[in-house]
Amino acid sequence: MKFFMANWKMHKTVQEALEFLKDFIPSVQGISDREIGIAPAFVCIDSMSKALRDTDIKVGAQNVFYENKGAYTGEVSPVMLKDLNIDYVIIGHSERRKYFHETDEIINLKIKATMSENLNVIFCIGETLEERESEKTFDVLKKQIEKGLENIEKYDSLVLAYEPVWAIGTGKVASELQIEEAHAFIKNRLKDIYSDKADRIRILYGGSVSPENIHSIMNIANVDGVLVGGASLDPEKFLKIIKYEERK
Catalytic residue among 35, 95, 163, 183: 163
**By the rule CB under 6 A, 230 interacts with ligand PGA:** yes
**By the rule CB under 6 A, 120 interacts with ligand PGA:** no
Closest approach of Cβ 32 to ligand PGA, in Å?
25
CA–CA dist 140, 232 (Å, integer):
28
Closest approach of Cβ 54 to ligand PGA, in Å?
27
Rounded to the nearest 5 percent, the helix, strand and coil shares of the chain are 45, 15, 35
DSSP E strands: which ranges in the chain? 2-7, 34-39, 58-61, 88-91, 120-125, 158-162, 202-206, 225-228
Closest approach of Cβ 217 to ligand PGA, in Å?
11
Q: Which stretch binds ligand PGA (CB under 6 A): 115-123, 149-157, 225-233, 238-246?
A: 225-233
**By the rule CB under 6 A, 209 interacts with ligand PGA:** yes
**By the rule CB under 6 A, 227 interacts with ligand PGA:** yes
Q: Which residues of 159-173 are buried (b: 16+ CB within 10 A; e: fewer)?
A: bbbbbbbbbbeeeeb
Closest approach of Cβ 220 to ligand PGA, in Å?
16
Which of 60, 78, 207, 235: binder of ligand PGA (CB under 6 A)?
207
Rg, Å, the chain Cα set: 17
Give yes or no for a contact between 91 and 122, defined as CB atoms under 8 angstroms apart.
yes
Name the residues that contact ligand PGA, by CB under 6 A: 7, 163, 168-169, 206-209, 227-231
